[in-house]
Structure 1
């Protein structure tokens, strides 16, 4: 389900920045006579990505005046996926490029198309728990291009303070809080189903609880040995979505509300909870500065308070094309990207939405509250990557299915079964065993 994998980018797409110049295709030529090198760098055109890329390249070029980086942009979504795949397969890829980590990387055949960085000093600054999402068959190919993003519940801390509520550690506690919030005349849960991708968070953000209850779920799911509909812990996300609607906790007009409207509603205290990614917050801070401090984050609660945690989305990564004639310069750039000075440069341009995946890179003291809350989960070792980072099995229709379940039109068990059917085509296209 490619839409979910790019949700963080969609939420950041309203960040403003100076447009980057689009350059020619293909990698840069080899070093010039004076030893100078020009690297070409391909990134997607979402403004969050381009702002981050500009901060990284500007800082790197200041420190390395003999290496120039020319940045080229491509579309996002499936069109961008096809451009990346085509340019890799034809040998026309830029020296370095920005692309998803996790399941979408697997389709790029990295062993044939990318420079293997396994054991290279380039990776010295990368947190070890990030490496699996840029690896295939034990070989690592990329460095993290941004920060971790939390997928769970954004909540209004002022409402919690006023109603003397505590952050829930079980789903029952969460629903009890919703009842008190509703009694106070405030919308308990914000829904923004006009932007259909936003309907998926109760399902996708629940994977920490799925993995806690069924540790082998991702592997068995990939092998077609288990299904969402037949696994109570996995089906629970669909049930939560349906229950929130059935209890009347959603805002009026949830079917026509947009993501931007939902974040605004939350920051202004007109709604208490929003199942969302932490990356939704930075774009609105310029106009709603209270979102930085008044909005917190907690993981979607499960059934066991002792096993409370949060689902996280790993950042995209930067890779080196195997066809590059400037591999050493490219490695120097990637080593910089995976360093604390690079994180500082990005922080100055784009407010971090969660912890960096770089050793020694710390959140600033003035980081948004939701990022600090996510850092606490990371420090406690209480996170799990979203399913799409540990399984390539995805279906394209989840957001339509979750809109129907969350609107009371499709029963949750039926929605889970529909999604099980939806993933079959994708799994067969990938040629996975067991399908």
Structure 2
């Protein structure tokens, strides 16, 4: 999913340019045995705070190793900086970057240290390893907590109306009927921020994979399509159905993310298709959201197979160009430890579980994090499609807005999206396109 929901600091570009002229892959150990590790990370506030917490806790436990943080912008500019520095051998000793399909763009076999079988990854949850693996080789460790994609819901509304968390789409729609009858908006949509329109599609992937386990592989190979795979087409049908039933908030076409979150937190709206990661900033103005807002996965057709789609956390990687491999591995091993999770939780509220064995949510974790954890505990999750396939077209959000506004039929929207991904797949040189 696009990361446009994160507001990036304008000054990040300046910082990144300064980073390009820095010491690159680090320096040799000082005469007193002290090593300085360079660490490139992001510039949005959550990433900055998380990275600092990791560095500070690591340095406290390893006084002979100092961590120097550099920041980079997000989006394509940040991607280009990472690729350039890797190709020129000027990358920092460790760096923060996406997990999942975007990893392959870094040509990891040539540019990154292989951690397969290394004690560094011993504590990483096995189901996370697949999103930092290329071929049979593991390259990274989880930088922070996961988040869920699905439905944020107001628990107070559910309590007031005597509703239960739905496990099927039919149950979800029945809840919406009761909510609408009570004079409350059943489903919040915020199409002014067009990226938010994608959640009914992207967060439904758990159900797609449950019905068609090979979909991600076949989709990447151009052997499966949204329009011709019933479980995948269903996500576009969901978008159309909530609109056709009159469940959406007034002015949904011009509503913003902030307005949608406010409606949800105040109980004026009951459901909001969204990522749990978006919730923490709301707590500053609506502290009750920590307990009043819950999460459930987009319901499918079979209650026995109910689950949720997870957005896996980014990873910490080590470039082959590092001159401080031992210290870099020590840092990565710390990142993949319960101690690191504890350090992060003190400064950044997790919105899902940590992907490290023994790492636990804090006692005061917000409700959505506990809800995502429950899905993981019962083994009922799937990574979002973007973590399993590099194929994602640029126009999904505009197509989803049209389908979700009743302007385009679901089957037509799915077919448009299948066409939308072709150019990108061809640019990536994928077989079968």
TM class, shorter-chain normalised? over 0.9
Please give the secondary structure, in 2, of the residue aligned with 1:233: helix
Pair 1:6 & 2:3 matched: yes
Of 333, 336, 344, the residue aligned with 1:335 is 333
Q: Which residue of 1 aligns with 2:344?
A: 346
**Following superposition of structure 1 onto structure 2, how do residues 31-430 of structure 1 map, counting pairs within 5 Å?**
31-430=29-428
Q: Is residue 12–residue 280 contact of structure 1 (8 Å, CA) maintained in 2?
A: no
Tell me the residue number matched to 2:12.
none
1:334-393: CA deviation from partner (whole Å, max 9, x where unpaired): 010001110000000001101100000011121111111111111111111111111121
2:24 alignment partner, SS class:
coil
Quote how far apart the aligned CAs of 1:6 are. 2.9
Distance 2:174 2:366 in 1: 27
Q: State the 1:5 CA deviation.
A: 4.9
Q: Secondary structure at the match of 1:107?
A: helix
Aligned residue for 2:346, secondary structure, equals helix
Instruction: Count residues with an aligned counterpart.
Output: 425
Deviates more, 1:254-263 or 1:316-325: 254-263
CA distance in 2, matches of 1:252, 1:209: 29
| Range moving further from structure 2, 386-395 or 202-211 | 386-395
Partner of 1:38, secondary structure, is strand
Deviations 1:257-291 (A, max 9, x none): 22122112111111000000011111111221111
Give the Cα separation in 1 of the matches to 2:194 and 2:77: 19
> Deviation digits for residues 147-182 of structure 1, max 9, x if unmatched?
111000000000000001111111111111111111
| Structure 1 pair 13–271 and aligned structure 2 pair: CA distance change class (3 A) | farther
CA distance in 1, matches of 2:212, 2:125: 26
Q: Determine the C-alpha separation between the residues in 2 that align with 1:398 and 1:248.
A: 23
The structure 1 segments of at least 4 consecutive aligned residues displaced by more than 2 Å after TM superposition are 10-14, 20-25
* Offset of residue 12 of structure 1: 7.9
Q: Give, in whole Å, the separation in 2 of the partners of 1:97 and 1:310.
A: 29
Distance 1:328 1:242 in 2: 54
TM-score, normalising length from structure 2? 0.96
- How far apart are residue 11 of structure 1 and its match? 5.0
C-alpha displacement of 1:211: 0.7
Identify if the C-alpha distance between structure 1 residues 278 and 372 changes in structure 2 by more than 3 Å, giving closer, same or farther.
Answer: same
* 8 A Cα contact 2:8 2:73, kept in partner: no
The Cα of 1:96 is off from its aligned counterpart by 0.8
